[in-house]
Structure 1
Amino acid sequence: MAYYVAERNYKPEEIPVEKLTHIIYSFTNVIDGEMKFRNEEVAGAKLEALVKQKERNPDLKVMIACGGWGADGFSDMALTEESRAKFIKSASEFIAKYQLDGMDMDWEYPGISGAGTMARPEDTKNFTALMKGLREMLDQFETPKILTFASAGWKRYYDFIELNEVMKYANYTNVMTYDQVSGVSIYTGHHTPLGDVKSGDIAGTPFQAHLDSLYSNGDNLDPDPRSAEKIVDFLIQEGVDPKQIVIGSAFYGRVWKGVPPVNNGLYQLSGGLQIGWMAYHQIREKYEADGKFKRYWDEKAKSPYMYNTEDSLFVSYDDTVSVALKTEYTMEKGLGGIMFWELGNDTKEEGSLLDAIYKAANE
């Protein structure tokens, strides 16, 4: 399941749709209480061109995502029965207009402000009511429609949604098992790990001291690092059907500067906020090909990282090995599948991240 942001040099015929089961065009927004594109003339034409690619893969499901990080309007839209009905009607018209197979709700986050978005205590119940209304609307179409929602890869999020109620209406929850060490962390760590690392495994590191302080003052409900395995086990324990869980892979990395060489830069205090995120195709081109960067593998986290001693740069990312492992894990665990943010960040060369996922899924 690929999230996809149309690229500048948009060539829908080059999108590798044969290797996907679902593609989620990103994003619409909540505008005046309705689901809309900010620039429909441009985005609408691109979405239509994407839907045409189903000729190359008739089984492909083309969906639309609403929201994303920093997207506001959700709390107000979900507040009353009337405001929800307005949004649901607009979503129905949108899906009919573009002949889509479903939609993904990417509200970040009900009850918790993400990037300054409005959040209310009532969001918890209102999110359930919204998902119920969307399900009922989608079920009125002649062909089956898919409803998914993007969920967080950390436990606190689930205190703010009625998980088992919402899962009655959603086909899948797309768990964002990336940014597990966030864009505002001055500590290095794995941002998209599969493996369940315990606090004892990283004892004595600056990162562990940081986690301890977050845990002791109540900012984090979990003393251990986050991971895909950890959140999946938690969701199953909470009663979610494994077949409804889709885990995330990152087609981008996070880079920190001013990182000391201790432990090859892993779990260290950097020289300031990270440089930022970098698309995988850039990592392959600039870093994987640069002899100054050495790749390491963390057996516990089941995750790669790179360190450049000369420039004190540390990179956390997914590569072809880790995405294949995640894919194998989803099959062994009986999960719904694997998704990723986002397809346009992959390399167009041979041996892409999508190729590694596809190969692992079809071996």
Structure 2
Amino acid sequence: MERSREAESAVEPVIMAYYVPERNFEPEKIPVEKLTHIIYSFTNVIDGEMKFRVPEAAGPKLKALVEQKKRNPDLKVMIACGGWGADGFSDMALTAQSREKFIESASKFIKEYRLDGMDMDWEYPGISGAGTKARKEDTQNFTALMKGLREMLDRFETPKLLTFASAGWKRYYDHVEMEEVMKYADYTNVMTYDQVSGVSIYTGHHTPLGEIRSKDIEGTPFHTYLDSLYQSGATTDPHPRSAQKIVDFLIKEGVAPKQIVIGSAFYGRVWQGVRPENNGLYQKSGGIHIGWMPYHQIRKSYEPDPDFERYWDDVAKAPYMYNAADSLMISYDDTVSVSKKTEYVKEKGLGGIMFWELGNDTKEEGSLLDAIYKAVH
């Protein structure tokens, strides 16, 4: 059948939620009316096939999620394969035979659960993430895998979506043939979060929208650190990462704006032992960051706490909070920053916005999803 690419026909930006079933899984309470897509996370590559690790637990939850299309018939329910630390991709994609085995399993999976498509979350082709196997051949094999998945999905009677999660930093794209891959994908879901990662001893914006230049952070410990990496040749880029920066890069590389979906973080990253200079931003912490925190906990515990002061960085177009009493700094997305990201998507003509992940949002009024939905509409 002839496939019409969804990205080319979408009138409004997509609102795409990654979703990990919550402990108190109540599918009827998921706000599907405010979503265009929901991506159930995750399946894994197991024995070369796409499977749930515990199908007896996950399978019924996915089926219950699909049933929620009764509340929003336009909702696309998809399945994600992979995630951070998920292995098996390089071996699975290595040969035409191994790819076909996986593709056939994906086809059966989509039929069984009556899904609208799938999201490939290989972190990362050609680059080991969290100790996953990587080969130089991954680059071409990823292209071949996406081509095979596209051909399989096109054999269904109804249109099926193919998306993939991509990194918010440039080195990833040295290992992916974007021009070829985007012939087969409807969207690339760019993970524009963890831009300052969980292994950083320096504070910074982990999910900024606005482009930040080296000169914007001069005089800070973070600038000294980045500059030392650049001067030593450990990195070829002296500037911090951001959504705007990677979007401009991808468009320059030839990716159609309508196929780019940027990410929002429904969680924050917290550092301790942070000195008060610059209200804790771009400072050295007392060690590796102490953890991540779902937005609903930030809303409940941090936003009303008088010891925490919220600051807005107009360059990064991102909020952060600092607690001088406990020397805590938190980088996160709030309702203001996700609204600005959504407005940017509309102004730039991008495909839409996605987020990791829906279960981290507050159930109260004025949620992050509410802010995104209002900005779209």
- TM-score bracket, shorter-length normalisation: over 0.9
2:12 aligns with: none
Measured in 2, the distance between the counterparts of 1:31 and 1:196 equals: 39
2:351 aligns with: 336
Measured in 2, the distance between the counterparts of 1:28 and 1:211 equals: 36
Measured in 2, the distance between the counterparts of 1:221 and 1:3 equals: 32
Superposition deviation, residue 312 in structure 1? 0.2
Measured in 2, the distance between the counterparts of 1:55 and 1:220 equals: 49
Q: Structure 1 residue 155 and structure 2 residue 202: aligned?
A: no
Superposition deviation, residue 212 in structure 1? 1.1
The counterpart of 1:128, out of the listed 137, 143, 153, is: 143
Q: Structure 1 residue 278 and structure 2 residue 293: aligned?
A: yes
Q: Deviations over 1:163-182 (max 9, x none)?
A: 11000000000000000000
Runs of 5+ consecutive residues of structure 1 not aligned to the other structure:
none
Q: Deviations over 1:184-226 (max 9, x none)?
A: 0000000000000100010111001111122223332311000
For the residue of structure 2 that corresponds to 1:127, the secondary structure is helix
1:29 aligns with: 44
The counterpart of 1:193, out of the listed 208, 211, 214, is: 208
Measured in 2, the distance between the counterparts of 1:220 and 1:341 equals: 27
Q: Is the 8 A contact 1:155 1:221 kept in 2?
A: no
For the residue of structure 2 that corresponds to 1:2, the secondary structure is strand
* Matched letter for residue 146 of structure 2: M
Superposition deviation, residue 159 in structure 1? 0.2
Q: Structure 1 residue 220 and structure 2 residue 220: aligned?
A: no
2:192 aligns with: 177
For the residue of structure 2 that corresponds to 1:340, the secondary structure is strand
* Matched letter for residue 36 of structure 2: T
For the residue of structure 1 that corresponds to 2:228, the secondary structure is helix
Q: Structure 1 residue 360 and structure 2 residue 352: aligned?
A: no
1:112 aligns with: 127
Q: Structure 1 residue 7 and structure 2 residue 33: aligned?
A: no
2:78 aligns with: 63
* Matched letter for residue 114 of structure 1: G
Measured in 1, the distance between the counterparts of 2:66 and 2:313 equals: 40
Measured in 2, the distance between the counterparts of 1:72 and 1:218 equals: 29
Measured in 1, the distance between the counterparts of 2:26 and 2:81 equals: 23
Over aligned residues, Cα RMSD in angstroms? Answer: 0.5
Q: Is the 8 A contact 1:156 1:221 kept in 2?
A: no
Measured in 2, the distance between the counterparts of 1:221 and 1:168 equals: 29
Q: Is the 8 A contact 1:280 1:345 kept in 2?
A: yes
Normalization by structure 1: what TM-score?
A: 0.99
For the residue of structure 1 that corresponds to 2:285, the secondary structure is coil
Measured in 2, the distance between the counterparts of 1:108 and 1:221 equals: 21
2:222 aligns with: 207
2:5 aligns with: none
1:229 aligns with: 244
1:46 aligns with: 61
Percent identity between matched residues is 80
For the residue of structure 1 that corresponds to 2:261, the secondary structure is strand
Measured in 2, the distance between the counterparts of 1:342 and 1:283 equals: 15
Equivalences, count = 362
Measured in 2, the distance between the counterparts of 1:215 and 1:51 equals: 48
* Matched letter for residue 352 of structure 2: G
* Matched letter for residue 326 of structure 1: K
Q: Deviations over 1:300-353 (max 9, x none)?
A: 000000000000000000000000000000000000000000000000000000
1:82 aligns with: 97
The counterpart of 1:268, out of the listed 260, 264, 283, is: 283
Superposition deviation, residue 97 in structure 1? 0.3
* Matched letter for residue 165 of structure 1: E
Q: Deviations over 1:50-69 (max 9, x none)?
A: 00000000000000000000
Q: Deviations over 1:40-93 (max 9, x none)?
A: 011000000000000000000000000000000000000000000000000000
Q: Deviations over 1:4-27 (max 9, x none)?
A: 000010000000000000000000
Measured in 1, the distance between the counterparts of 2:66 and 2:226 equals: 44
State the structure with bigger RCO (CA 8 A, min sep 6), 1 or 2.
2
Measured in 2, the distance between the counterparts of 1:216 and 1:145 equals: 47
Measured in 2, the distance between the counterparts of 1:283 and 1:80 equals: 46
* Matched letter for residue 195 of structure 1: G
Q: Deviations over 1:226-258 (max 9, x none)?
A: 000000000000000000000000000000000
For the residue of structure 2 that corresponds to 1:137, the secondary structure is helix
Q: Structure 1 residue 289 and structure 2 residue 304: aligned?
A: yes
Normalization by structure 2: what TM-score?
A: 0.96
* Matched letter for residue 32 of structure 1: D
Runs of 5+ consecutive residues of structure 2 not aligned to the other structure:
1-15
